[in-house]
C-alpha cells in the first residue's frame, strides 16, 4: 500500500555577502501555460451531489496560485444514451457545476473548449467503491508526538479487482488496490498533523480504475510535502485528457467518475 506523501521542493538561494545580503531569484525556464483540469465526478447512493469541474492555467515556478479559467465550454457526453450535458460556471465558487448523477455501465466523455482549442478525455465509466465500515481515533503518534491517529476500516468486494482513492482533506490522498486483501476487511491508520482536538476529520473513499490508480500513485510520489496534486509538479504527469486541436499543447489533470462514500468524527 502506497504511503501518502506531500510536495516538498527545496530550492537553494544564493547569497552575495559584502556589506549586505542579496537574495537571487533563479531564472528558471518557462513554457506556455497549460490548461489544468480537475474533473472528479462522484456518485453516492441515495444522495444527490452537484458535479464540479475546476479549470485553471498551470503557472510558473514562482507563481503561488494558478489563474482560474472562467470562459470555457464544459460538456459531459453520455455516449451510451447519446446525451450531452452542459456545465454552468459559478462566479462565486469559481468552478463549473452540473446537477447530474452518473450511472454504472455507461460510457462518458468530458469535452472542454477553451481558447479555440478542444480538449477531450478518454471514455470512462463510473467505478465501484465500498462504504467505510468504521472510523475511530487511535492513540499512536509519529515523530512530533502530537499527531492525531485515525483508524479506517472497510470491507473489500470479493467479486472484482478494486482500486480506491482515499481523500483525507487538506490535500492529502492515498491510492490503494485490493491485491492483498481482496474480499476481506482491511484496517489502516492515517495521521493528521494539522488538526487539533475538537476538529472534524472527514475521510472519503472513491472507486477508481487501474489507470487512475497509476496516475495518482505517481502524483503522490511527486508531491511530498503538500500542495495541490493537480497543479504544476516537478515533472509533467499525463492524465487521460488530450488536446484534439493541438496535441503538443496537452492539458494537465484527469477526468474520472467514482462511487463515493464518506465518514467523519470529532477528534479528541
Domain count, the chain: 1
Q: What is the C-alpha to C-alpha distance for residues 46 and 215, in angstroms, rounded to an integer?
A: 29
Decide if 120 is inside a domain.
yes
Q: Return the C-alpha cell found at 253.
A: 489533470
Tell me how far apart the alpha carbons of residues 219 and 236 are, in angstroms, rounded to a whole number: 9
Strand partners, 83: 78
Examine residue 246 and state whether it is found in any structural domain, yes or no: yes
Domain contains 62: yes
pLDDT of residue 19: 41
- Establish if 116 belongs to a structural domain: yes
Q: What does the alpha-carbon distance between residue 134 and residue 264 come to, in Å, rounded to a whole number? A: 9
Cell output for 94:
469559481
From residue 127, give the alpha-carbon distance in Å to each of 20, 41, 100, 228.
Answer: 59, 10, 16, 23
Residue 144 inside a domain? The answer is no
In this structure, is residue 10 part of a structural domain?
no
pTM of the model: 0.83
Q: Which domain holds residue 95?
A: 35-128+237-258
**79 found inside a domain:** yes
- 166-194: string of b/e by CB count within 10 Å (b at 16+)? bbbeeebbbbbbbeebeeeebeeebbbee
Predicted confidence at residue 4, as pLDDT, reads 41
Residue 76 and residue 97 in contact, taking contact as beta carbons nearer than 8 Å: no
Q: pLDDT tens string for the chain (268 positions)?
A: 444 433 333 333 343 343 444 444 444 445 688 999 999 999 998 888 899 999 999 865 445 678 999 999 999 999 999 999 999 999 999 999 999 999 999 999 999 999 999 999 999 999 999 999 999 999 888 877 789 999 999 999 999 999 999 999 988 999 999 999 999 999 999 999 999 999 999 999 999 999 999 999 999 988 765 455 555 444 578 899 999 999 999 999 999 999 999 999 999 9
Question: Does 184 fall in a domain?
Answer: no
Assign residue 95 the CATH number of its domain: 2.60.40
Amino acid at each position: 500500500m502506497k504511503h501518502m506523501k506531500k510536495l516538498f521542493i527545496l530550492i537553494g538561494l544564493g547569497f552575495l555577502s559584502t556589506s549586505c545580503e542579496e537574495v537571487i531569484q533563479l531564472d528558471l525556464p518557462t513554457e506556455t501555460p497549460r490548461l489544468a483540469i480537475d474533473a472528479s465526478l462522484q456518485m453516492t447512493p441515495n444522495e444527490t451531489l452537484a458535479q464540479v469541474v475546476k479549470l485553471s492555467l498551470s503557472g510558473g515556478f514562482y507563481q503561488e496560485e494558478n489563474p482560474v479559467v472562467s470562459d470555457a465550454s464544459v460538456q459531459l457526453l453520455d455516449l451510451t444514451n447519446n446525451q450531452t450535458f452542459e456545465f454552468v460556471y459559478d462566479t462565486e465558487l469559481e468552478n463549473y457545476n452540473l446537477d447530474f448523477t452518473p450511472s454504472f455501465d455507461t460510457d462518458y466523455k468530458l469535452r472542454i473548449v477553451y481558447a479555440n482549442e478542444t480538449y477531450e478525455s478518454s471514455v470512462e465509466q463510473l467505478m465501484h467503491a465500498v462504504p467505510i465500515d468504521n472510523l475511530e481515533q487511535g492513540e499512536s503518534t509519529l515523530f512530533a508526538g502530537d499527531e492525531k491517529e485515525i483508524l479506517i476500516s472497510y470491507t473489500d468486494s470479493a467479486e472484482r479487482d478494486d482500486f480506491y482513492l482515499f481523500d483525507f482533506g487538506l490535500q492529502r490522498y492515498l491510492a490503494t488496490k485490493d491485491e492483498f486483501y481482496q474480499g476481506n476487511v482491511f484496517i489502516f491508520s492515517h495521521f493528521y498533523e494539522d488538526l487539533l482536538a475538537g476538529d472534524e476529520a472527514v475521510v472519503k473513499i472513491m472507486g477508481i480504475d487501474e489507470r487512475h490508480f497509476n496516475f495518482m500513485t505517481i502524483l503522490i510520489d511527486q508531491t511530498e510535502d503538500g500542495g495541490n496534486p493537480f497543479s504544476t509538479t516537478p515533472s509533467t504527469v499525463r492524465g487521460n485528457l488530450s488536446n484534439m486541436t493541438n496535441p503538443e499543447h496537452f492539458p494537465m489533470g484527469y477526468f474520472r467518475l467514482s462511487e463515493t462514500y464518506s465518514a467523519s468524527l470529532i477528534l479528541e
